[in-house]
A and B are shown apart, each in its own frame.
Chain A
């Protein structure tokens, strides 16, 4: 091996080491930067409590339809439907959707009544990370029902500015 070749190899090795170090540093720095602008499970709980108050949150009746694996977090199709006869006496008053790790826990708060006929809504949402999405429905009798789905996101909704 000539001296030139050896020097080239040395610089290449140094380049690889430095790149790895840089990537490592970025890897540590990035989650910290994201952490600042993301709601935590605690803030999601606070947002849900804001709606529900002290009333118990029951599992069931609500069904959330969202793909389990999402390629693009910028537009995620979401459908929330509730079992309810939708009569004057027994209907769904409101449907709320929350996320765990978006910058803000709230996604949508929909208010409907017996004239809806069917308690169901669809929209497209943004997801900043792989996280839990929670739907809460408020019935006319004052009870609250919930459903949650764990969603894996490969490309997050733009937070860092693409």
Chain B
């Protein structure tokens, strides 16, 4: 399982716009880079990222080889209710990873 780091506030006021930062370890091999023998190294990237807030999708991104290794994504959401933020990454060669954090909204 790839290592994922999430940075989101554990507590927020209702209606507050919060910033969520995500980072996951992944090579993001582009498929355009030749190996020692001149053949291109096969593509191996994370192609999709989804963030859900209590099961409802709030942010989705399609990633392409032009995303740097160890994809880093920052986005925002409105703290509407206490619950969980879940994160899912899917990619080539059956890659999947998930992570979740709890948030308390007062």
Contacts and interface: CB of A to CB of B under 8 A. Distances in A.
A and B found bound together: yes
Nearest to A75: B68
Contacts of B36: 161
Interface residues of A, number: 34
Contacts of B68: 74-76, 123-126
Residue in A75, A108, A117, A118 whose Cβ sees the most chain B Cβ within 10 Å: A117
B66 A104 contact: yes
Contacts of A23: none
Contacts of B105: none
A118 B17 contact: yes
Nearest to B62: A109
Contact of A110 (B30, B61, B72, B80): B61
Contacts, number: 100
Secondary structure at the B interface, as helix, strand, loop or mixed, is: strand
Interface of A: 37, 74-76, 79, 99, 102-104, 106-113, 115-127, 158-161
18 contacts: A75-B68, A99-B66, A104-B64, A106-B62, A110-B60, A115-B58, A117-B76, A117-B77, A117-B78, A118-B76, A120-B74, A121-B74, A122-B73, A122-B74, A123-B72, A124-B71, A124-B72, A127-B66
